[in-house]
Structure formats: structure tokens, C-alpha cells
């Protein structure tokens, strides 16, 4: 995936051996939230693709991408948020 125009990818062509694709359990562990939260995020956010079997695979980059709220772009992270 080179840019947002490539989303969503064809689920039959993604390489699930690539570390960018996570199961719900793996995504929950990576994000330090419950699997229930990941399932909600899958419904609310554009972070997963579904295989023909119905199984969801979450894209790591999209999981940790800042989300928009109320149609407004989230402010970019900067040093003012995280002092040295």
C-alpha cells in the first residue's frame, strides 16, 4: 500500500505474513486495549480488511493513525505535546 488511494486493498492479494497485518488479538496487544475495543474500532474506523471467510485483519499503520473527530482533522503531534 503506497497511499490512501490504495485502500482498501483486495483482501485476496494481501500478504498476511507481512508484519503490517494483525489479527484482532495481536492488534489489541499492540494497542494495549481489549479485543472488544479493537472490534469496535473495526466497525467505526477504516482500519481493517475482511477476507472472504469473514475474518478481519487490521493494518498496523491504520490502527495507529490519528483519527478524525466530528469531521475535523486531528492536530499533528509535535514537540509541544511531548517535551524532550
pLDDT digits (tens, 9 = 90+) for 30-83: 999 999 999 999 999 989 999 888 899 999 999 998 876 555 544 444 334 444
Rounded to whole angstroms, the Cα distance separating 9 from 72 reads 25
Looking at residue 48, its pLDDT comes to: 93
DSSP at 13: T
β-pair partners for 20? none
Instruction: Name the residue with higher pLDDT: 3 or 63.
Output: 63
pLDDT digits (tens, 9 = 90+) for 7-38: 888 888 888 888 999 999 999 999 999 999 99
Between the two ends of the chain, the Cα-to-Cα distance in Å is 33
Q: Is 38 within 8 Å of 58 (Cβ atoms)?
A: yes
CATH annotation of 16-63: 3.90.105
**Domain limits of the chain?**
16-63
Looking at residue 66, its pLDDT comes to: 82
Amino acid at each position: 500500500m503506497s497511499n490512501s488511494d490504495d485502500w482498501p486493498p483486495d483482501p485476496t492479494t494481501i500478504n498476511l505474513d507481512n508484519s503490517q497485518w494483525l489479527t484482532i488479538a495481536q492488534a489489541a496487544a499492540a494497542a494495549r486495549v481489549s479485543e472488544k475495543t479493537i472490534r469496535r474500532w473495526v466497525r467505526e474506523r477504516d482500519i481493517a480488511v475482511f477476507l472472504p471467510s469473514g475474518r478481519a485483519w487490521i493494518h498496523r499503520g491504520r490502527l495507529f493513525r490519528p483519527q478524525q473527530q466530528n469531521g475535523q482533522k486531528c492536530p499533528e503531534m509535535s514537540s509541544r505535546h511531548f517535551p524532550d
